[in-house]
Every structure is written in structure tokens, then in C-alpha cells.
Structure 1
């Protein structure tokens, strides 16, 4: 597996989405970083009524401003900037690639307070979400046809902590026709936090 991360669009994971490439501008990436920080601060705060009222009003303003800019799914940017960490979205934790090819990918992830489940541990539902994101993109790398998750089994081995940088590794086990079997692990130092076993199935022509 290569130890370097190639630039867009040569990365194995890269797929050309209409409106989703880096030509859209660096401002989008900076905005998403700010939104991630906002969600973490909101989750960690105990705001007073005045702050909440002001925040609600400002969010309503931006919601109204964005609504006329809605476009069909194929033209959207959110989750389609594959050269950005986390594909330029806030739904999943920010996964940073450190090495990859069309059979394996390695990287790091850090869960902020937005993903807190309790007692400074990551919410159990956020971990399969991370695995599905990483494995799903790997399953479609190397020019492979699009596919969908058939099953994703996650085993929780120890507490996944909020805050520290964690290591993620995902790899192909085998391919059988339209079936793609993959695995992944999540480590905090030498401690195995969770691991996943997944099957992705290639879509038939015209299948959504």
C-alpha cells in the first residue's frame, strides 16, 4: 500500500461528481471545518437563553438564505468533495487518509464532542457509521462499479475515546462476482477499539 496520498483526481477513491470537485473552491472546505467545530462546541456547551435565542435567529437566517440555492442531488457539493477529509461533510467523523491503494486504506480519525455517547466514550452508532464510510469508499475504488452495503457487522472490543487521534485500517478480503467482502479495524494506540466485517454488492446496470 502506498504511503503517500495522491492529489485529486488520481486517488483510488476519487470519483468525479458533478459540482463536487476541488474547482468549487477552498472556501467550502474552510466552511465545513467551521461547521465541525461549531457542532462540537454546541454539544459541549451549556448556553444561556440569550445565546440560544441569538443562535436560533442566525440559524434561521442562514436556512432561509440557503433554501433558494437547493439543487438536484447530482449537483450537490455536500459529501462529494472526495479530496477533502470526510468528503467535505459533517455527518461522519473526519477521516484523514495516510496511505491507500485499490485493496487497502489506512488513516486516522478523531471523534469530537458531537459524537459523544457518554462518559467521554464515542456513541456506539458513530463507529459503524465510520466503518461504512471508509469501507464503502474502498469497495468502489480502483475503477470498480458502484455498490451498496449488504451487511456491516461491528464488534466493539473496548471503549472508543472522545478526543485522541485513532488509527483506522480497511482492506479487501476477497471478491466473488458482484460480492465484495471487506474488513476494518479501529485502534487507540495498541488497543483495538472496534472491528468490522462487511459485504458490499455491485449494483446492476440501472439499479439505484
Structure 2
């Protein structure tokens, strides 16, 4: 198979691909529910445009793609074709680079995961000014080994959840000062897990927030974060 042949075959929509239902793979996940309107999180939504929904769909497929890449042991021809495809897409995207504040990646705050793939998509189920409840499922891309989520991916999730909570409900922007994570049990790949984040205290510029990650009744990990409000001259 040539690279060109592979490109032609690859245009089949990913939704038509038969997905493995082995939960340990963490791939072929169900479609995410719409983001609920909750005051502490909806306040972060930035005005979008007509391309935002399509961009979000693309990010969802990119997440699937990363899981498939991780789970696959491809032959040499497939790897070569994929390498060449990625090179062409890189060349196409390179001239479209914009300043950080204008990029779409990670800035779609009305979508699960904010339109990024660095951390798993946190699905908000309920939220108020000081709490947020939701679910998350780590795909194969986040595998550390033996069916467990990589230890470095869990603080990424906590920073995403606690950072948004600390900066929601009209609070001035703050940055992470520390994030302490305690690992209580193995966090499994491909399982829907529950997340609860809550505000602990606020004193001056300092905000303490905590969260826990559960697999059913089992606490997989807990975290505490200190977020410090930025001064007017801080980026």
C-alpha cells in the first residue's frame, strides 16, 4: 500500500469504524452529554463562532485517534503513511499560527475539556459557586502500565478541575501555587470515574481548593491546591 492509497482509505469517518469494546483499552467511548448551564462554570464561557462546534468535534476525534495510536502495533507501511500524513497536516497548519490569546485549542470553555487533549475531558454534571461534580474516563493514551492510569496524568486532571473552580464565579484570575496529590488506589483505564471538587477557603489572594477521584466507592486519588490571585501587572 502506498502513502497515497492510505490517505484515500483513511477518509472513512471514524464513527464508521468498528470500535473495540474492551474497557481496558479506554477507546470507543460514548458521546459526551452537552455541557450543563451552571453559574460557576458557564461564567467562563467565551463568545464563540460557528466553527467552535466543528473544532470540538475534531478534538473529540483527535482524542480517539491518540487512543488508537497508543493501542496499536502498526506495520511499517502504516507507520510510514501516517508519518507522511502528519507532516502534510503540519505544513498546512503552520501558516495558520496565531498569538496565544487567539488560539482555539484549550479556549473553548463551553465544551468538555475546553477543546484540548493534554488532559482527559472532564464532564461536568452539576456545579455551584463552590463545588463541581462530574465524571472522567481516561483513555488508552493515558495508560501508565498494567491497566492503570499514568501517575502524571492524574495531577493534570486535578489542576484542570481545581483551576477552573478557583477561577470561576467571577473571581479574579489566579494561578496554581502548589498542587498536592495523594494516590490512594489504582486508577483504572477505560472506566467512568467520578470527580468532586470543592472550595475550602479564601483569604486575601489565596484560595484553597480540594478534589477527589473515585471509582465507585473507592477513592483513587485526592488533591489539594493553592491558587494565588494575580496582581494587576502579572500575566
TM interval, shorter chain, is over 0.9
Aligned to 2:62: 35
- CA 1:105–1:151 in 2, change beyond 3 Å: closer, same or farther? same
Question: Unpaired runs of 5+ in structure 1?
Answer: none
- CA 1:11–1:104 in 2, change beyond 3 Å: closer, same or farther? closer
2:128 matches 1:101: yes
Work out the number of aligned pairs and report it. 201
Separation of aligned partners in 2, 1:191 and 1:175: 29
Aligned to 1:5: 36
Question: Unpaired runs of 5+ in structure 2?
Answer: 1-34
Aligned to 1:198: 225
2:44 matches 1:15: yes
2:205 matches 1:148: no
- CA 1:153–1:13 in 2, change beyond 3 Å: closer, same or farther? farther
Q: Secondary structure at the match of 1:186?
A: strand
Alignment of 1:167-182 (within 5 A): 167-182=194-209
Question: Deviation at 1:13?
Answer: 4.9
CA distances 1:156-188 after superposition (whole Å, capped 9, x unpaired): 000000001000000000100100000000000
Aligned to 2:118: 91
TM-score using structure 1 length: 0.93
Aligned to 1:63: 90
CA contact (8 A) 2:40 2:129 kept: no
CA contact (8 A) 2:159 2:179 kept: yes
When Rg is computed on C-alpha atoms for both structures, the one with the higher figure is: 2
Aligned to 1:183: 210
Question: Deviation at 1:26?
Answer: 1.7
The structure richer in strand per residue is 1
CA RMSD of aligned residues (A): 1.5
Runs of 4+ in 1 over 2 A off after TM superposition: 10-17, 20-25
Aligned to 1:44: 71
- CA 1:11–1:198 in 2, change beyond 3 Å: closer, same or farther? closer
CA distances 1:87-116 after superposition (whole Å, capped 9, x unpaired): 011001011000001200000000000000
